[in-house]
């Protein structure tokens, strides 16, 4: 396993058609064939390097896919028009009617809704577990369990999955481990610890400019081919394809991911430590007070830090809302969902990004309504930002 993800991305050499330093954009939905015979072989998936139709694959998408595979150290990758497109296709490719899934109970709201409300209509049942409890996972395994699904650092509670141990359980029981690594690109390489499929919403840190929706699945050649199969591939048949122009754009943004992740992590660590020092309850895997600090420290690629996501507890939804409005007013960040932007973004997940989860279940998993999730930006002077935040905290008597 290659262990230098940023080097692996940087070492890829793609030239444009006229020697351009960026690869040419493939602005075509369909491709000509010199011989009719090679068209039918391409349809059957037998010819490498031949393109048939851009819903299946296109040169621009393949460049981005190579970069994503290099990022995660997997054999191959497939890009999608959204992170949810990548997640749903993976789940439907691996599970058929009467199959069973074990999922962390703290996952992205859309993923939770898909597993809780949508897949049961297809007779695919999910048991939601506390992903930090290996016993809970072990006890939930059934003969028809096909997937263990989790996020490296969960949304929004930042619970950490011990990938090495969870993967041992998966392998022993012949179950696929599917990991959403959207919160921690470069920081953690899940395939290194045995994840079979690694998913990203490219919308977030990897693209980093909040100008598009996009996703990717990184896995073995075999699994990626199965997703693209013209007869029964969930990607090919559900048609969640990324446009070539967008693939070229995401690839260019990905060139600076390593620099951005270091800065996001550095700034997030500063804010988390400052909150804690001032007596605000903060959750961040980089803090020694985080229950899985040691597990994350062991898993991480050190130079990229603990990621850009921090949460604090403002006590009540009312205070959280007032605080967020004030912080936006003072230009300390934007009151917006999503993550990975140059500007700090904050929201109260209980009433926004995780509102698919019922109040009762939110309480059970420890998702307080006053929780504020920060995607910490690339601020040049984070101490100045914190001074601004501190003034807002004082105004609402939080410190």
Ligand X SMILES: *Cc1c(COP(=O)(O)O)cnc(C)c1O
CB 357 → ligand X: shortest distance, Å? 14
Gap between the Cα atoms of 77 and 69, Å rounded: 5
- Where in 214-273 is the site for ligand X (CB under 6 A)? 215
Gap between the Cα atoms of 185 and 38, Å rounded: 39
CB distance 258 to 373 below 8 Å: no
- Residue 301 is a binding residue for ligand X (CB under 6 A): no
Binding residue (CB under 6 A) for ligand X from 182, 189, 354, 368: 182
DSSP annotation of 215: E
Cis peptide leading into 156, omega within 30 of 0? yes
Sign of the C-alpha dihedral computed for residues 298, 299, 304 and 309 taken in this order:
negative
39-to-33, 42, 121, 244, 261 alpha-carbon distances in Å: 6, 5, 38, 22, 43
CB 347 → ligand X: shortest distance, Å? 12
Q: Using only C-alpha atoms, what is the Rg of the chain? A: 21
Binding residue (CB under 6 A) for ligand X from 79, 84, 137, 357: 84
- Lay out the site mask for ligand X across 200-219 (x = CB under 6 A, - = otherwise): -x-xx--------x-x----
User: In the chain, count of helices (H) and strands (E)?
Assistant: 15, 12
Binding residue (CB under 6 A) for ligand X from 58, 74, 140, 155: 155
CB 372 → ligand X: shortest distance, Å? 16
- Residue 88 is a binding residue for ligand X (CB under 6 A): no
- Residue 5 is a binding residue for ligand X (CB under 6 A): no
CB 338 → ligand X: shortest distance, Å? 7
Residues 6+ positions from 86 with CB-CB distance below 8 Å: 78, 80, 199, 200, 201, 215, 216, 217, 240
- Residue 375 is a binding residue for ligand X (CB under 6 A): no
CB 377 → ligand X: shortest distance, Å? 16
Instruction: Considering the complex, state which of residue 204 and residue 326 has its C-beta at the smaller distance from ligand X.
Output: 204
- Residue 354 is a binding residue for ligand X (CB under 6 A): no
Q: Are strands 145-151 and 176-180 parallel, antiparallel or unpaired?
A: parallel
- Lay out the site mask for ligand X across 100-129 (x = CB under 6 A, - = otherwise): --------x-xx------------------
Binding residue (CB under 6 A) for ligand X from 72, 99, 180, 379: 180
Binding residue (CB under 6 A) for ligand X from 73, 83, 156, 333: 83
Gap between the Cα atoms of 154 and 160, Å rounded: 6
Q: Are strands 176-180 and 197-201 parallel, antiparallel or unpaired?
A: parallel
CB 111 → ligand X: shortest distance, Å? 6
Half-sphere exposure of 49 (CA within 13 A, CB side): 0
Instruction: Considering the complex, state which of residue 216 and residue 272 has its C-beta at the smaller distance from ligand X.
Output: 216
CB distance 160 to 266 below 8 Å: no
By CB under 6 A, the count of residues binding ligand X is: 16
CB 382 → ligand X: shortest distance, Å? 22
Instruction: Considering the complex, state which of residue 80 and residue 193 has its C-beta at the smaller distance from ligand X.
Output: 80
Residues lying near ligand X in the complex (CB under 6 A) are found at 82-84, 108, 110-111, 151, 155, 180, 182-183, 201, 203-204, 213, 215
């Amino acid at each position: 396993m290659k262990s230098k993800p940023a080097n692996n991305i940087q070492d890829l050499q793609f030239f444009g058609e006229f020697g351009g330093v960026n690869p040419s954009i493939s602005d075509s939905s369909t491709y000509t064939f010199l011989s009719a015979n090679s068209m039918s072989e391409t349809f059957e998936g037998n010819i490498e390097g031949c393109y048939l139709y851009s819903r299946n694959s296109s040169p621009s998408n393949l460049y981005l896919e190579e970069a994503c595979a290099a990022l995660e150290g997997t054999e191959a990758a497939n890009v999608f028009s959204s992170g949810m497109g990548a997640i749903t296709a993976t789940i439907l490719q691996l599970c058929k009617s009467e199959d069973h899934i074990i999922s962390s109970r703290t996952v992205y709201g859309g993923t939770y809704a898909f597993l809780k409300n949508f897949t049961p209509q297809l007779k695919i049942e999910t048991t939601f577990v506390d992903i930090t409890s290996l016993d809970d996972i072990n006890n939930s395994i059934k003969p028809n369990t096909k997937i263990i699904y989790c996020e490296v650092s969960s949304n929004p509670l930042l619970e950490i999955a011990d990938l090495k141990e969870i993967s041992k359980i998966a392998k022993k029981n012949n179950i696929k481990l599917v990991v959403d690594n959207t919160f921690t690109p470069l920081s953690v390489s899940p395939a290194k610890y045995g994840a079979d499929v690694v998913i990203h919403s490219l919308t977030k840190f990897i693209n980093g400019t909040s100008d598009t929706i996009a996703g990717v699945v990184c896995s073995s050649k075999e699994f990626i081919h199965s997703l693209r199969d013209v007869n029964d591939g969930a990607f090919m048949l559900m048609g969640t394809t990324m446009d070539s122009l967008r693939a070229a754009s995401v690839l260019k943004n990905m060139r600076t991911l390593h620099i951005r992740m270091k800065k996001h992590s550095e700034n997030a660590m500063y804010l988390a430590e400052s909150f804690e020092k001032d007596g605000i309850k903060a959750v961040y895997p980089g803090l020694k007070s985080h229950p899985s600090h040691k597990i994350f420290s062991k898993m991480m690629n050190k130079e990229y830090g603990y990621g850009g996501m921090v949460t604090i507890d403002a006590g009540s939804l009312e205070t959280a809302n007032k605080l967020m409005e004030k912080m936006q007013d003072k230009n300390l960040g934007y009151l917006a969902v999503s993550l990975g932007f140059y500007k700090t973004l904050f929201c109260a997940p209980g009433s926004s990004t995780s509102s698919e989860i019922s109040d009762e279940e939110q309480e059970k998993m420890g998702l307080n309504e006053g929780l504020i999730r920060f995607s910490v930006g690339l601020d040049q002077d984070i101490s100045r930002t914190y001074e601004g935040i501190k003034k807002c905290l004082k105004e609402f008597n939080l410190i």
